[in-house]
Amino acid sequence: MTYHVESFYDNQTSTFTHVVVDESTKQCAVIDSVLDYDQDAAKFSTTNADKVIAYIKGKGLTNQWLLETHIHADHITGAFYLKQHIGGKTAIGTGIKKVLETWVPLFETEGDTPLTGDQFDQLFADGDTFKIGNLNVRVMHTPGHTPACATYVVEDEVAFVGDTIFNPNLGTARCDFPGGSAHDLYQSIQKLYALGDDVVLYLCHDYPKGDDKPLVKISVADQKNQNIMLDAQTSEADYINRREARDKTLAVPKLLLPSIQTNMRLGSFGPKHANGIQYIKIPINVL
């Protein structure tokens, strides 16, 4: 099966968006898109999303899916905007329901953010399969960072892991968000390591220093050998102690409050009020 992965890197949020292409049918899927958001000015733009649109249209591709690996807390998804311009079904893991139960009441957005997850076209259970053109894709729930985290395994050769695991010099995702669990993330990463040493993991983030280029992909073997927080020899107890100690030193992500409430609506800022303006809610002294 012939496929191609085109990756786009957003310097502002250090996020990768991946386009997976079945070259035999010219059908594709977009994974973890980005909408540009200037928090200080309270304005959004579509520079990153427009690059994806230009690529898909320029290559004569048909988009089938707008996939999310989880509800992001560090950037706003471009899924809502992309769907208007290139189509495709929006999808995420069924763990989204646990995330919605936690965050929708906090923001009081029950009127426009269904707790059922019906704002997404598809909710994937663990083990579900689907196709991108003729490519076979398997959904693997990989909770720990959040309850909604899922990995998309394409043709048992490449996997899109979201925030589950990072560049080996950084380790793994944090586990201190509501519903997060270092125990769950350890078990999830064991599932990734069991995919096979030659399987290539596509990352959702990297944070290079100096002139280094961001690392977009890495083999399972290299993660097992090099990951500073969880390599092939790391016990669950050691990982949990290391992860929880590290999490206590981390600040709240800058875009957490804008991101979560909009990403639960696929990047939409919600309905306009009577004055024609959309608003983001910022709960005070909660986090």
Q: What is the pLDDT along the chain (287 residues), one digit of tens a residue?
A: 799 999 999 999 999 999 999 999 999 999 999 999 999 999 999 999 999 999 999 999 999 999 999 999 999 999 999 999 999 999 999 999 999 999 999 999 999 999 999 999 999 999 999 999 999 999 999 999 999 999 999 999 999 999 999 999 999 999 999 999 999 999 999 999 999 999 999 999 999 998 999 999 999 999 999 999 999 999 999 999 999 999 999 999 999 999 999 999 999 999 999 999 999 999 999 88
Residue 108 domain flag? yes
In a domain, 198, yes or no: yes
Residues of the chain with pLDDT > 70: what percent?
A: 100
| Type of residue at 53 | I
pTM: 0.97
Query: d(Cα 270, Cα 187) in Å, to the nearest integer?
Result: 36
Count structural domains, the chain: 1
Within-domain flag for 53: yes
CATH number of the domain enclosing 125: 3.60.15.10
Nearest 5°: phi and psi at 91?
Answer: -150, 155
- List the Cα angle 139/143/147 in 5-degree steps: 105
Q: Is residue 272 part of a domain?
A: no
259 occurs within a structural domain: yes
- Is 61 within a domain? yes
Domain range enclosing 44: 3-263
Structural domain contains residue 22: yes
| Distance between CA atoms of residues 110 and 131, nearest Å | 32
